[in-house]
A and B are shown apart, each in its own frame.
Chain A
Amino acid sequence: MTATTEAAAPKTTPLYDSHVAAGAKIVDFAGWAMPIHYGSQLKEHEIVRSDAGMFDVSHMCVIDITGAEAKDWLRTLIANDVEKLGFEGKALYSGMLTPEGTVIDDLIVYLTHYGYRMVVNAGTADKDIAWMLKQAEGRAVELTVRRELAMIAVQGPNAIEKACKVLHEEWESTIKGLKVFQGFPFGSVEEGWFIARTGYTGEDGLEIMLPAEEAPLFWKALIGAGVAPIGLGARDTLRLEAGMNLYGHDMDETISPLQAGMGWTIAWEPTDRNFIGRAALEAEKAAGVKCKQVGLVLEGRGVLREGLKVVVEGVGEGIITSGTFSPTLKHSVAIARVPAGTGVTAQVDLRGTLTDVRIVKMPFVRNGKKVFS
């Protein structure tokens, strides 16, 4: 199972040694050596749903955007509209699109006192930066890639309480006052601490950016406060239960956001905001969007997995883009892209057997509880 390749050694985060010391099983994730689990993915999943766990997400990339044209530029760069960011620290989820209206990446952008902060995926970071630099040519926009920062996501019903035990006491009231999807720098921007009430698990929690050299000690302190290290395996089952897209699986540069459940992230108004991809999306809408994203539920035995064919009788075929066993629900759930005319039932080709599945509105789980009916 272990293949020897001549590819470059995977990159490591500042927390790599901490993961190894905690007994992590390390895998190559988008060119990064990351922990997949520390013993049991299922136990780690449950800890995040019931208490507090933390993820090393330092492989994701933080980019600060400044300059006189930063706002105008972002209003053309991404499909959602930063004009909506009504107060400092507010965050926005958006796709960054090609002119053909497909997804280069999905990202979060925060309004900060100095401009904007963007967080993009690990596997797409280099591509994103090259695209952004190209779009910034001749504009009064400056991009600062903050690779010197680590990032730790603390998630779960007790996450904020436990994280506050090891953060500066004087920050506590501000952190507890953070609105959902809001984040601030704590101290100066150069010092590097930035804390946001965001996450990727369907639970409350924080995403904490901090200087790389301070990360191992902070990680250790969080363990001391009862926050368990959680691997990328549980991160995937948690985000899937929460019905959240994963780049490279549920969407990519071959898929339009309209077909990937990201229609809500496109700001069509004002109509004169000519963001990259707009014309293509308007044409797609006018012609009728052919596919839609749905949730699938299999209440019997078996696990729905990415790539499996979905058969919708009388309508056509689709595909599972992410599928897993749901540790919270104790059965399998999946995200699928199916023909637009799909109703409430479908079948999945499960190891050669067409098996009935239900089509539901996502998310599957929110704050630890089943939400679909």
Chain B
Amino acid sequence: MSNVPAELKYVNSHEWLRLESDGTVTIGITDHAQELLGDIVFVELPEVGAQLDADATAGVVESVKAASDVYAPIAGEVVDVNVELESSPELANSDPYGAAWFFRVKPANVADLDKCLTAAEYSKEIGV
């Protein structure tokens, strides 16, 4: 059964978002996504400073089973990436909402978060 923390926001392409106190937004892939992918062996992250549109490709996650794009759920500038994930991609399986955050953006419009799914809506989407 996938874990869907109530305090986060989500999008259909299985990324989660968390608004930080400094106004940036941390983004990762959901527990459901890592379950679907299986053992994750490589992660590619965006460049710090990149300007991403909403739904733009922001990286790649490769598991033993499949390669999958990671999308920017909202528009913004990439202000930080989790380099630890590049050397330890298995964190995406073991701690998808913690140590395995992917990147952080300064949102173009913080109100875009309101358009994202709530935990209840995302749970319904993935059938849990």
Which residues on A are within 8 Å of B, measured CB to CB?
1-2, 37, 40-42, 233, 237, 301-303, 305, 324-325, 327, 351
Contact = CB atoms under 8 A, between A and B. Distances in A.
12 contacts: A37-B38, A41-B64, A41-B65, A233-B38, A233-B64, A237-B64, A302-B62, A303-B67, A305-B66, A324-B64, A325-B64, A351-B67
A324 B38 CA distance: 13
Nearest to B69: A351
A1 B32 CA distance: 11
Given A303-B41, A303-B42, A303-B67, A325 B36 contact: no
Contacts of A302: 42, 62
Overall SS of chain A's interface: loop
Nearest to B41: A325
Given A41-B38, A42-B39, A301-B44, 14 more contacts: A1-B36, A2-B127, A37-B38, A41-B65, A42-B41, A42-B90, A233-B64, A233-B65, A302-B62, A303-B41, A303-B62, A305-B66, A325-B64, A327-B64
A139 B36 CA distance: 51
Contacts of A41: 38-39, 64-65
B60 A351 contact: yes
Interface residues of B, number: 15
Interface centre among B36, B42, B44, B93, by most chain A C-beta atoms within 10 angstroms, is B42
Contacts of A305: 66-67
Contacts, number: 36
B85 to A, nearest CB: 13
Q: Which 8 A-B pairs give the minimum distances between C-beta atoms?
A: A42-B39, A325-B41, A303-B62, A301-B42, A325-B64, A41-B39, A41-B64, A40-B39
A283 to B, nearest CB: 40
Contacts of B90: 42
Interface in B39-60: 39, 41-42, 44, 60
A303 B42 CA distance: 8
A73 to B, nearest CB: 42
Nearest to A36: B38
Contacts of A351: 60, 67
A76 B44 CA distance: 53
Nearest to B126: A1
A246 to B, nearest CB: 15
Nearest to B36: A1
Interface string B89-101: 0100100000000
